[in-house]
A and B are shown apart, each in its own frame.
Chain A
């Protein structure tokens, strides 16, 4: 089971980071950063297969691809922004973390604008 591997990796990395942090604080940060990256990559490959299957399903039941891809893109942006911001916060750089979150929000907004525009179009055309 993969959850064992991930939890084991996480615990080992935590113990290492706590031990090293007393000697050198920046080394502890590096350990937690690398552990985070490894877990992220490990789980992203799993997620990829799930998303591929979802795409196939969507093709079968003939819903527009644009909904699916937009939602997935938004979730991806939120995830990656969260990941980066968390790492920055762990390293004690709250300012950079908040900037990353801000960038994530702006990018999500950018994804939302086309949907908003078509909805507005629809509503305006509907009202006589």
Chain B
């Protein structure tokens, strides 16, 4: 008897409460959705005593709380995943930039070359080998420091010389040749140096020279 009384009181008070709340609803298309949810709720309230018979008195509030908690956890996990992906991309970018600037410094300060660009391929999957360099593409600018120095001297020579055009073109020709010879011999040095320093096999290091058009 007591359960039936409680049941009826709950249904009645829910209906009164909902009529009251409906005053408050804003006049827009949200109203439809809210009405659907209210309908679901009334169904739940009406069916509730049956749940006691079927489930052996499982608390409804606990059930709803459990589901909403589960949804919260899932939302947080999704957000965390998004942040992690963004975070990893930033980490990889910063790591690449740092390694590139280190390589550039080494090439320019210690070995005396002018670097145009360095391309890196690294392991980006989050496993044991994360961050290991897979391939290095070094693009050097044509004028190395040494040849630039030589160029300066030659320009001085040119100023003295009468046949300006001829001497310039000849010297430029010589210059390119010298460069290519220089690179052939020194490519090995760079490769050796980089393969010991960054532990990359020599075949994975490519060095090319960007020729100036003029």
Which residues does A use to contact B, with CB under 8 Å?
A: 47, 54, 57-58, 61-68, 70-72, 74-75, 78-79, 81-82, 101, 104-105, 108-119, 121-123, 125-126
Contacts and interface: CB of A to CB of B under 8 A. Distances in A.
B21 A78 contact: no
B64 A118 contact: yes
A71 B25 contact: no
A105 B30 contact: yes
B43 interface: yes
B120 interface: no
Contact of A75 (B24, B63, B68): B24
A75 B21 contact: yes
A117 B40 CA distance: 10
B132 interface: no
B210 interface: no
A88 B119 CA distance: 47
A105 B60 CA distance: 25
Classify the secondary structure of A's interface with B.
helix
Contacts of A113: 67-68, 71
Contact of B41 (A67, A75, A125): A67
A105 B33 contact: yes
**Binding site secondary structure of chain B:** helix
Contacts of B34: 74-75, 78, 108
Interface string B3-32: 000100110011001101100111011110
A78 B67 contact: no
A78 B30 contact: yes
A115 B44 contact: yes
**Nearest 9 pairs between A and B by C-beta?**
A114-B67, A82-B26, A78-B30, A114-B64, A66-B61, A114-B68, A118-B63, A112-B37, A117-B67
B158 to A, nearest CB: 66
Given A67-B41, A67-B45, A126 B30 contact: no
A64 B7 CA distance: 11
B20 to A, nearest CB: 8
30 contacts: A54-B17, A54-B20, A58-B13, A64-B61, A66-B61, A66-B64, A67-B45, A68-B17, A70-B37, A71-B41, A75-B21, A78-B28, A79-B26, A81-B30, A82-B28, A82-B30, A101-B28, A108-B34, A108-B37, A114-B65, A114-B67, A115-B37, A115-B41, A118-B67, A122-B44, A122-B47, A122-B54, A125-B51, A125-B55, A126-B47
A63 B10 contact: yes
B26 A111 contact: no
B99 interface: no
Contacts of B50: 122, 126
A102 B44 CA distance: 27
B25 A78 contact: yes
